[in-house]
Amino acid sequence: MCIFCKIIAGEIPSNKVLENEEFLAFNDINPIAPVHILVIPKKHIKSLNEVDGQTMAKITEFIKEVAKKAGIFESGYRVITNIGENGGQEVSHLHFHILGGTKLAWPKLG
């Protein structure tokens, strides 16, 4: 069982921001912005490469709800997902980083 599945199961605590039947949002334990929230589906999906369109449509709406609750919907925010080893994915469970709370710079990659 991956770390995010353990969080969903309640085996590992998290600082929940928002939750519904299908998705969970919680604060990242190592934030890189004033607001850094992770959004995950409760169903284990390895990465964006495996997700279906219906789930993506629902998680997009959920992400917008999280941004509103976090107070960054109007000011702006960034949504990031990493896919695979070269893409920087550290946990093999689909997750989206919501970053905001300040003006975000675009770092050089590689």
Residue with tokens 């990242």: 28
Catalytic hit among 36, 44, 93, 95: 95
Question: How far, in Å, CA of 44 to CA of 46, rounded?
Answer: 6
CB atoms within 10 A of CB 30: 5
Of 47, 39, 46, 2, which is closest to residue 22 (Cα–Cα)? 39
Residue 16 phi/psi, 5° resolution?
Answer: -65, 140
Residue 97 designated active-site: no
**Type of residue numbered 89:** Q
Which residues are marked as active site? 95
